[in-house]
Amino acid sequence: MSNYVQAMKDFVESHYIATFAFVAAGAGLLAIRRWMAGRACLSKVMLDGKTVLITGANTGIGKETALDMAKRGARVILACRDMTRAHIAADMIRQQSGNGNVLVKKLDLACLQSVRELAKDIEKNEPRLDILINNAGIMMCPKWATEDGFEMQFGVNHLGHFLLTNCLLDLLKKSAPSRIVIVSSLAHERGKIHFDDINLDKDYRPEISYRQSKLANVLFGKELATRLQGSGVTVYSLHPGVIRTELGRHLFPTLAVWKRTIAIPLMMLIKTPWEGAQTTIYCAVEESLANDSGFYYSDCARKTPAPQAQDDDAAKRLWDLSASMVGLG
C-alpha cells in the first residue's frame, strides 16, 4: 500500500500540470452535472384515494412519474401502446413502491379509435380521475402518418391527447379539484402552427414538426384552462429539461458517426429520467399551484413561454382546427 501511495506521489510531482488539469476537469464536470440536475419537487403530498392516468408511462419520464405517483399512494393507470413493456414497467413500479394499485391500459395515440376506447373504458370503470398526465411523445420521426392520416408528431403529441382529454373532462370535473398536466418542451419556443399546412405536406422537416406539436401542447393548455375556469379542473404545461431517455430513438441513427461519438459521453451530463420527472410531479401535486391554471413551468417554477404560445387567437384557432380533425362537435 505504501508503495502505491509513494508511486502516486511521484506521479503527481512529475506530472503536476496534467494532474491539476485532470482534477479541475473532473470538478468542472461535477459542477455542470449538479447544475444540470435542476430542482426537485419538494411536495410531500400523499395521493391515497386519488386516481392518476399517465400516457406513455412504460419508459422515460412517464415511468418515473408513475413510480412517484404510486409511492404517494395513488391508483395509477399506465396508458401505453406496447403492452409487454407496459406490464414490465407496472411490475417494477409495484415492487419499488409497494403499491399494488397499478394498472395497465392500452392506448395508441396514433389511432383515434384507440383513444376513444380507452376513454370509454375509464369512464365506465373508474369512479374518479384526479390527475391526467399527457406525457407520451414522439420526436423527429420520418414523415409518417397516424391511422387517421394525420402527420405523426402532431397526431400523437397533440391530437391524440386533445381527444383523450376532451373525452375525460366530465370525469375530471366530477372529481374536482383535479389537474391536467401537459408535457411540452422548450422546443415550442422555435415553433409555429402551420394553419395552412398542418400536416406539413408541402415541406416536411422532422424538427419543424416536433416544434409545432410542442407549441400546440402549450396553446392547448392555455385554451383548455380558459374553458375550464370555475370547474375546479386546473391545467399546467411544462418543459421537463433535457433528459436521457429514448426520445432520441428516431434522431440518433440519422446523426453522423462523429456526432454520435461526441453525444454519448455528453449524455452522462444531462438529466436522468428521475430528474426529468420532477417538474411534471410538481405540476401534478404541488399544493401552492392549486389555484393556478393555464401557465407554463420549467425546473419546478413558473416560466413565461414564447410569445407565440401566449397568442389567444392562435389558441382558439388551434382548438377549432383540432376539434374538427378529431371529429368533436
Residues that bind ligand NAP (CB under 6 A): 55-56, 58-62, 80-82, 85, 107-110, 135-139, 156, 183, 185, 239-240, 242-243, 245-247
- Rounded to the nearest 10 degrees, the angle between the axes of helix 278-285 and helix 60-71 is 40
Residue 128: count other Cβ atoms within 10 Å of its Cβ.
14
By beta-carbon proximity to ligand NAP, the closer residue of 59 and 175 is 59
Least distance between ligand NAP and beta carbon 230 (Å): 29
CA 138/CA 305 separation, integer angstroms: 21
By beta-carbon proximity to ligand NAP, the closer residue of 136 and 175 is 136
Least distance between ligand NAP and beta carbon 97 (Å): 18
CA 224/CA 132 separation, integer angstroms: 13
DSSP-derived pairing of the beta strands 75-80 and 233-239 = unpaired
Contacts of 230 (CB under 8 A, 6+ apart): none
CA 145/CA 161 separation, integer angstroms: 16
By beta-carbon proximity to ligand NAP, the closer residue of 110 and 326 is 110
Catalytic residue among 4, 16, 204, 210: 210
What's phi and psi for 265, nearest 5 deg? -65, -30
Contacts of 85 (CB under 8 A, 6+ apart): 58, 59
**For cell 401537459, what's the residue?**
182
By beta-carbon proximity to ligand NAP, the closer residue of 175 and 222 is 222
Least distance between ligand NAP and beta carbon 6 (Å): 47
Least distance between ligand NAP and beta carbon 5 (Å): 43
By beta-carbon proximity to ligand NAP, the closer residue of 55 and 165 is 55
Query: In the chain, which residue ranges form alpha helices assigned H by DSSP?
Result: 2-14, 16-37, 60-71, 83-97, 112-125, 152-153, 161-174, 206-227, 257-267, 273-276, 278-285, 312-326
By beta-carbon proximity to ligand NAP, the closer residue of 25 and 145 is 145
204 carries an active-site annotation:
no
Least distance between ligand NAP and beta carbon 222 (Å): 17
Contacts of 211 (CB under 8 A, 6+ apart): 187, 188, 190, 191, 192
Least distance between ligand NAP and beta carbon 108 (Å): 5
Decide if 273 contacts 264 (C-beta within 8 A): no
Decide if 282 contacts 290 (C-beta within 8 A): no
Least distance between ligand NAP and beta carbon 38 (Å): 12
Beta bridge partners of 131: 52, 179
By beta-carbon proximity to ligand NAP, the closer residue of 138 and 175 is 138
Q: What is the DSSP letter of 186?
A: G
Active site residues: 210
